[in-house]
Chain A
Amino acid sequence: MRPRWFAIFCAAAASAAPVTLIRDATVLTVTKGAGKGSVLIQDGRIAALGPNLAAPAGAVVVEAAGMYLMPGIIDCHSHIAADSINESSVSVSSMVSVEDVLDPEDIAIYRALAGGVTTANILHGSANAIGGKCVVIKMRRGKPAAELLFEGARPGIKFALGENPKRRGSPSSTNPGDAAVLRYPATRMGVEDVIRQAFTEARIYQAQWQAYRSGRSAVAPRRDLKLEPLVEVLEGKRLVHAHCYRQDEILMLLRVADEFGFKIRTLQHVLEGYKVAREIAAHGAGASTFSDWWAYKIEAYDAIPYNAAIMHRKGVLVSINSDSAEVMRHLNTEAAKTMKYGGLSEEEALALITVNPARQLMIDDQVGSIEPGKAADLVLYDRHPLSNYAKVQKVFIDGQLYFDRQKDLEQRAARQARKQALLDREKQQARPSAPQTRPR
């Protein structure tokens, strides 16, 4: 039993999320099987689950007979809710951070909720060998940017290999002096060199700080915002999410990381991962891939729909991601494809969009499955979520209702009326009340 003061503290922290009982749903826990039952939410957390739970006095009861409850979907690769994505001017842009430009009013947050997504890894783009810093957010729509951040999630950084980071600029630009704009590197070899060079600098920088902290040097080094996150990578404090496609570049990165003594937390896209799954598993990297999205460029041609299943069977921690505000709305369908292509079980398929990405982001102690003590991030579907016909009915984050299909439908007319009123008002004001003095 938790001490009483702790419960009070939790209640305050969860900004008084109501006690809620979701009754008689088919509960897909993902980690502990599935079955008919109820889930009790208290203080923003899953307090209990079981077949015969009574609603405490004053609890909100959600009648969910015939419906399916699963953990909130976690998208390990997203670019929503940010005002800028790529700092593409430099080959190492680790000084920039998505956290600085989070846009909590992005409509894509609401659409993600409507697709059952409760948590996402918001990544910098793939224009640079070493890209910017990333953050994990919850879809707490209506909250300011700082409150979107997933508490306790380890920060990340984006790496990118292959065609994107070796893109050199735009020779077709009309900007004079564009020859100078062309950026290093221009080859995959160059990408490797950029990463080695950056981490060599980071080691020197790390040594300078160590010298200062141990008193061997009297003067603190100048803070370098580019190298600081790389030192965090070396020290295991920041997770590396590396955009990649081809087997050769994947092996290159794993070797470079081994050489410098850091880990690649996830390989993103990783469409040729099925070819080097054992090596990926040996390094301990996760793989976050698409179900069946490929051939949009040369390096993305040698892809197969069995990629996720093969990597999973070879011991790689696999997730399915969206990389798109649109795909994000039906990640459940994306996961279901691995049942057809690779024969994964229902539970394995659901794990690809829930507990597996949670493990990749090292937040699985908080989210990713329906277990007592975890955050009440839950999605209620009208049908089994692996069915094409499933529609999200309700989404809870920290026990609070953030999406309700019924409410959404009810509010549409009122929103339209509000908009029309503003349009009418503007038209009214634009109408010239006096004779026009300015010739057209």
Chain B
Amino acid sequence: MRFLGVRAGPRVLIVLAFWAAAVLRADAPAVYAIRNARIVTVSGPELPKATVVVRDGLIEAVGEDVAVPVDAWPLEGEGLTVYPGLIDGLSTLGITDESALAPAAARPSSRSSVTSSPPGRPAAGPEDRPRTTSWLNAADLVRITDRRLESARSAGFTTAVTFPARGIFAGQGAVINLAAARSGGLVVASPVAQYVSFSSGSFSEFPGSLMGLTSYVRQLLLDAGYYRSAKARYEKNVRDAARPVYDRALEGVLAAPRILLPAQTRTQIARMTHFAAELNVPVVLYGVHDGYRAAGVIAKAGVPVLVSLKWPEKDREADPEDTDSLRVLELRAYASSTPHALAAAGVKFGFYSGGIERPGDILRNVRRAVDAGLDRAAAVRALTLSTAEIFGVADRLGSIERGKIANLLVTRGDLFEERMKVEYVLIDGVKYLPLPEAPPREERQ
């Protein structure tokens, strides 16, 4: 991971960052009022000229007739637009522990200390819980020292749903704010979901195929259900039978209220909606680039989805003589029309950065979806309230309403204009300025 190279720099920097954060926090006024701004509440009508008051980290009031309280620090909003802070629906933001991040397939030799299979012996079946770290909890792993938090803030994000991302059952995600005085302060809700990836390992270790992966997910979820009832039976009468053997993999699966399953192509989407109907747990699909051809299938299944904003692109290293198949060409040409198709079909969807390197590119890619027909209001909703709803935190995040967490994005210009500029964000009612715009960087190899 590239940012790790940066992190390995002088420790002084980190200390400085801690200190700076603490000082900022101490100096921050507890009450802000942004007045005369255009306010996109998302949950209600857009207010062309209104005031939003933020007190002690929560939104105290929003409206056209709201007065600026006497104790508030006034922020002039003339010419500015206030949005709910943007939410990255699926990320690893805040997690810097390599063992929870590196895809297992990328480095088969380095076995993490947290994976369950005994070293030296490949998993021989589901009972070995291959590439499973379902018990890892993003809330325990996030650190304010992750430099990516700052660059994500600079792109208008105040919140992310962040996951350990290594293995098949990678671990439990948390909704985090992208700034806090201490790492624990980042966490808004946890655990919100279990991240399942169909990462391929080696052929000689179970599961070594897509069939095996599917079967493993199915068996582990069955086992989790069985484990839950065995524990309940035991608790009812501890003297009747031997206690169930503690299984951290199943504990981890049971802890999360929903699971994330990957589905990119139409075939995968149909497959996973079918699979979701069979599983005894709510499912969220992620990826979904082929969704423009499968919106009806998703709508019928009633499954919410997270659309990756890393639109498929032609491989830069590809042989110029090679021609992709029509299907691949169509996917590249039409993937960005997926959000429009989902909105038209009434599917609940959010967005996620999907490994986009530079946070500034995230909104640029949302603009491509808007160019492909997605209504701007629907685009904002997907970046805020819809994602909050998908993860069950819409009671505290995702819109500008009284009582919600004061995560706000203040821009000059509409979010989807090329010239839009992030003025600042508020996170838990604390104001953060964006990083000065960096000159275009050289592509790193």
Query: B-contacting residues of A (Cβ < 8 Å)?
Result: 83-90, 93, 95-98, 100-105, 124, 132, 144-146, 169-170, 173, 175-177, 180-181, 183, 219, 222-223, 225-226, 415, 418-419, 422-423, 425-426, 430, 437-439
Contacts and interface: CB of A to CB of B under 8 A. Distances in A.
B330 A88 contact: no
B266 A426 contact: no
A104 B267 contact: yes
Given A90-B124, A175-B108, A439-B442, A98 B211 contact: yes
B212 A96 contact: yes
B272 to A, nearest CB: 10
Contacts of B223: 222
Contacts of B218: 225
Contact of B267 (A84, A103, A175, A176): A103
B332 interface: yes
B267 A105 contact: yes
- In order of increasing CB-CB distance, the 3 nearest A-B pairs are A96-B211, A84-B209, A89-B208
A88 B204 contact: yes
Nearest to A181: B204
B291 to A, nearest CB: 15
B43 interface: no
A425 B333 contact: yes
B329 interface: yes
B215 A419 contact: no
Contact of B219 (A93, A95, A177): A95
The majority secondary structure among interface residues of chain A is: loop
A87 B212 contact: yes
A146 B205 contact: no
Given A103-B267, A105-B266, A225-B219, A88 B108 contact: no
B214 interface: yes
A102 B274 CA distance: 12
22 contacts: A84-B210, A84-B211, A86-B203, A87-B206, A87-B207, A88-B204, A89-B122, A89-B124, A93-B211, A101-B211, A124-B211, A146-B274, A170-B203, A173-B202, A173-B204, A177-B120, A181-B204, A181-B205, A419-B323, A422-B333, A438-B440, A439-B442
A223 B202 CA distance: 27
Interface in B212-237: 212, 214-215, 218-219, 222-223, 226, 233
Given A89-B123, A177-B120, A422-B330, 8 more contacts: A86-B209, A88-B203, A88-B204, A89-B203, A95-B125, A170-B203, A225-B215, A426-B333
How many residues of B sit at the interface, in one of the four size bands? 35 or more
Contacts of B125: 90, 95, 226
Nearest to B201: A89
Contact of B211 (A97, A181, A223): A97
B326 interface: yes
B443 interface: yes
Contacts of B119: 177
B211 A423 contact: no
B336 to A, nearest CB: 12
Contact of B204 (A132, A183, A423, A438): A183
Contacts of A85: 209
Nearest to A99: B211
Contacts of A88: 203-204, 208-209
Q: Which of A100, A102, A181 has the most CB of B within 10 A?
A: A100
A132 B210 CA distance: 12
A87 B326 contact: no
Contacts of B327: 105
B208 A97 contact: no
Contacts of A173: 202, 204
B7 interface: no
Given A144-B270, A170-B204, A437-B440, A101 B215 contact: no
Interface string B331-347: 01100000000000000
B443 A96 contact: no
A423 B271 contact: no
Nearest to A175: B108
B210 A101 contact: yes
B50 to A, nearest CB: 38
Nearest to B214: A100
Contact of B209 (A87, A181, A223, A438): A87
Contacts of B440: 437-438
A225 B212 CA distance: 11
A183 B267 CA distance: 33
Nearest to B217: A100
A127 to B, nearest CB: 9
B204 A89 contact: yes
Contacts of B214: 96-97, 100-101
A89 B442 contact: no
Contacts of B239: none
Given A88-B204, A144-B297, A438-B440, A219 B209 contact: no
